[in-house]
Structure 1
Amino acid sequence: MTRSSDHRFGQPRPAIEPPHATQAPLYAGSPLQPLPAPTGAAPFRLNLADIVPHAVQAAEKVGGMAFHMVGDTGGVKDPKPQLLVAQGLEHDAGVAGQFGKPAFFFHLGDVIYFDGQAQEYVPQFYEPYAHYPLPILAIPGNHDADVFDDGTRTNPLPSLATFVRNFCAPKPGVRSVDAGESPRTAMIQPNVYWTLESPFATIIGLYTNVPEGGVVEPDQADWFASELAAAPKDRLLIVALHHPLYSLDTEHSGSKAMATLLKTAIARSKRRPDAVFTAHVHNYQRFTVADTDGKGVTPFFVAGQGGYHNLHKVAKVNNQPLVTPYAVPEQPGVTLESYYDDRFGFLRLEVSPTELLVQAYTVPRPQEAWDHAPKLFDQMRLDWKRRTILR
């Protein structure tokens, strides 16, 4: 959470620093990590009004709200892409859309590379967003949760200890020891998996651990189904997790385990999310998935283009780029509607009592000068009550 009086939005940005030193690789095998203790009470809900009350009041007055989303931002080997995305976010934070300016930034994980080290929070989080005037909330990614062990420590810090210190403070107004000179205070999320409540949308944020493809243990799966069932039916329902259910990239692909998790939770709760947002794959992809009951579609997004330098390419067919819309083979009802895999960017979401607008922006490439505002690449408007895409 940030004190608005401390922001210097609009001032010139500092010069881009040289690349960081090479970090240690992922812990061998990337094993499942134990969950840290929650810092708040079950069922781990946070009301947006406890963070930005004036923005919530303004949203209620105009009948909708806007916010940002993206993941995989950490600029560990080359800070330029992350700083360009941060600059784009800063610019868009001052743009008033149908429902005013964005109210917050929901991060989809991998805030810090490679292993969530405390010393990397200044160069990879607090400095890049020094001029971003909005609060930043987050779910952890696999890199935030992996355990840094260079072989010299007898007892490495437990998984997510530093993430919890910076995003799960037990009370507001706490400055993290990892923040350096930044005035941004720690966020007050009650757990590493949690639900954000707001007047127009409910966001259920899952933590999918470290192993490739993601793992959600039974107690969190029970909580997830319960939160789906409890979510107000008069508000848009978003599910956010790090590992994607669908992806046509050449590095990770989609996760069958996460697809099974969602299918099981829907069956148990008898409630289907209106949209699903993920990251982990370093590009932008938008899918529509036909509901099994034939009554509508659910949009699924991969938004891992937030600044980590190594972009992931989307697969080709017969050595040619995919042409969208592309019906995914052997996955009936799944269609890739749009993608970009050659640049960085972010998402802007606008939510009303009946519609969701998702806009995917790009920023200049690292070798290009910053001479324009972020460019709109793709947008989708969903009538979430009717579960139909509006053309």
Structure 2
Amino acid sequence: MSSAKKLIKPLFKLNQPDDNYKFQPLPLPFGDYPYRLKPAMELTDPNKLVFQVAGDTGGLKSPAFQKLIATEMGKQYHQARNPADKPSFLYHVGDIVYHFGEADQYERQFFTPYKDYPSTIYAIAGNHDSDVNQAAKVPYSSLYPFTSVFCGKTPRPVPFGTNLNRMSGIQPHVYWTLQTPVANIIGLHSNVPKFGVVTEEQKAWFIEELKYAGTEHTEKAIIVCIHHAPYSADFNHSSSLPMINLLEECFEAAGVIPDLVLSGHVHNYQRFNKTYPDGKTVPFIVCGAGGFDELHWLVESDDILYTDKSDIFDTVTLQNACTMLHGFLNLEVTKTDEGHQISGKYYSIPHDGLKPGEDASLFEEFTYFCKHGDKQVVQ
């Protein structure tokens, strides 16, 4: 298990080619604008929501880790001592299957590993889920397999896989808001290019969703999920300037800053704090070590291919990181009279697997508190 040096900055990877030509058109929505889903969700404690987060869970070369992650998340549900601690769902932050989001990969990379997962699975698509294999024997449109599994007005049969009784989810679009009793979770679609692309239409929708979530902020925390990580210090991708600009422009236009931002894309775990001018501290968390065999380490401080020299990073610090190990996040959002508390536990799995009776290891715990009408603080 490795931990990053405290208080280092995110990085930009220098001299990266423009691959925006990989952009894929979005499918039509399945639900009505503004693409909100409010599922029946009876919480044992009406003021407490527990859910799990994982990203980049697919894999072809070493499938054992994606199965271990799914099994360990399921164990937390079954072994919870208090019913209120059972995760209500898994929120997947993208890259469910590799490398081109093909229908025939869902069986081995998703349906089989997660066949015994006890809760609902919601998802945003990653760049690999959105990409199209031009050499496929049967041509298909970007995100057709993804939407067949996760989207629909009502549950309908998934047209591929061995379980012919499998029904789809009912997410209204590839960008959408999950409305829970304790949090509004806004999921964005950042497409195929390496650093992400969000259309102007989606950007306008996002601003309106932030405004709406702002009207409910005293009752519900605001969480934003986007596959491409805005901030990172890893060697493969590092930070995404397009996603940083997108988020900050939308936060400013809406006059609303979320309480938490979750991402994948980078195959490790990183937790950043970003402090805004009003004093609010927002965690930006990368959670992309959910099973894919290639993991990403952090850049050495003297590597000339990267830079932290940017005013954008002045208020962003890396608090902790877990690299070269697979893992997942357990989040708890609690509403109090004063505001919302967001607590997290990140769990990792050793490379040699788990011994019989052994559980995933707790890597770190953290807590943030957002007081109504005041700044968010770290405890």
Q: CA deviation at 1:388?
A: 3.3
Question: Which of 82, 89, 93 is 2:73 aligned to?
Answer: 89
Structure 2 residue 120 is matched with structure 1 residue 140: no
Residue 359 of structure 2 is matched in structure 1 by 373
Structure 2 residue 112 is matched with structure 1 residue 112: no
Question: Which of 157, 163, 183 is 2:146 aligned to?
Answer: 163
Distance 1:289 1:29, change over 3 A: closer
Q: CA deviation at 1:218?
A: 0.3
Verify the 8 A CA contact 1:93 1:102 in the aligned structure 2.
yes
CA distance in 2, matches of 1:332, 1:31: 31
Distance 1:370 1:334, change over 3 A: farther
Structure 2 residue 28 is matched with structure 1 residue 33: no
RMSD of aligned alpha carbons: 1.9
Residue 388 of structure 1 is matched in structure 2 by 376
Verify the 8 A CA contact 1:121 1:179 in the aligned structure 2.
yes
Superposed counterparts of 1:1-391, under 5 Å:
31-49=22-40, 53=41, 56-60=42-46, 63-96=47-80, 99-150=84-135, 156-172=139-155, 174-181=156-163, 184-231=166-213, 232-234=216-218, 235-293=220-278, 295-318=279-302, 330=310, 331-353=313-335, 354-367=340-353, 369-385=355-371, 386-391=374-379
Name the SS for the 1:355 alignment partner.
strand
Q: CA deviation at 1:311?
A: 0.2
Q: CA deviation at 1:152?
A: 5.5
Verify the 8 A CA contact 2:23 2:193 in the aligned structure 1.
yes
Q: CA deviation at 1:87?
A: 1.3
CA distance in 2, matches of 1:356, 1:290: 16
Q: Which amino acid aligns with 2:208?
A: S
Q: CA deviation at 1:140?
A: 0.4
Name the SS for the 1:48 alignment partner.
coil
Distance 1:254 1:170, change over 3 A: same
Q: CA deviation at 1:390?
A: 3.7
CA distance in 2, matches of 1:194, 1:277: 15
Q: CA deviation at 1:185?
A: 2.5
Which segments of 5 or more consecutive residues in structure 1 lack a partner in the other structure?
Answer: 1-27, 320-327
Verify the 8 A CA contact 1:108 1:279 in the aligned structure 2.
yes
Distance 1:367 1:197, change over 3 A: closer
Q: Deviation digits for residues 71-95 of structure 1, max 9, x if unmatched?
A: 1000222201111111111111224
**Which structure has more RCO (C-alpha within 8 Å, separation ≥ 6)?**
2
Verify the 8 A CA contact 1:116 1:163 in the aligned structure 2.
yes
Percent identical: 37
Verify the 8 A CA contact 1:74 1:111 in the aligned structure 2.
yes
Name the SS for the 1:316 alignment partner.
coil
CA distance in 1, matches of 2:51, 2:39: 12
Distance 1:132 1:183, change over 3 A: farther
Q: Which amino acid aligns with 2:154?
A: K
Q: Which ranges of 4 or more aligned residues in structure 1 deviate by more than 6 Å?
A: none
Normalising by structure 1, what TM-score? 0.84
Verify the 8 A CA contact 1:361 1:378 in the aligned structure 2.
yes
Q: CA deviation at 1:30?
A: 6.2
Q: CA deviation at 1:127?
A: 0.4
CA distance in 2, matches of 1:356, 1:189: 25
Verify the 8 A CA contact 2:20 2:197 in the aligned structure 1.
no
CA distance in 2, matches of 1:64, 1:222: 31
Q: What is the aligned residue count?
A: 345
CA distance in 1, matches of 2:178, 2:352: 34
CA distance in 2, matches of 1:224, 1:97: 38
Verify the 8 A CA contact 1:67 1:105 in the aligned structure 2.
yes
Range with bigger deviation, 128-137 or 88-97 = 88-97
Q: Deviation digits for residues 35-54 of structure 1, max 9, x if unmatched?
A: 100000000000132xxx3x
CA distance in 2, matches of 1:238, 1:350: 12
Q: CA deviation at 1:356?
A: 0.6
CA distance in 1, matches of 2:111, 2:159: 12
Verify the 8 A CA contact 1:249 1:314 in the aligned structure 2.
yes
Verify the 8 A CA contact 1:166 1:186 in the aligned structure 2.
yes
Q: CA deviation at 1:175?
A: 2.8
CA distance in 2, matches of 1:255, 1:81: 27
Q: CA deviation at 1:151?
A: 6.7
Normalising by structure 2, what TM-score? 0.87
Q: Which amino acid aligns with 1:373?
A: D
Q: Deviation digits for residues 271-310 of structure 1, max 9, x if unmatched?
A: 11111000000000000011133x2211000000100010
Q: CA deviation at 1:318?
A: 4.8
Name the SS for the 1:33 alignment partner.
coil
Q: CA deviation at 1:178?
A: 2.0
CA distance in 2, matches of 1:292, 1:212: 30
Q: Which amino acid aligns with 1:363?
A: I
CA distance in 1, matches of 2:238, 2:356: 32
Verify the 8 A CA contact 1:81 1:366 in the aligned structure 2.
no
Name the SS for the 1:337 alignment partner.
strand
Distance 1:66 1:130, change over 3 A: same
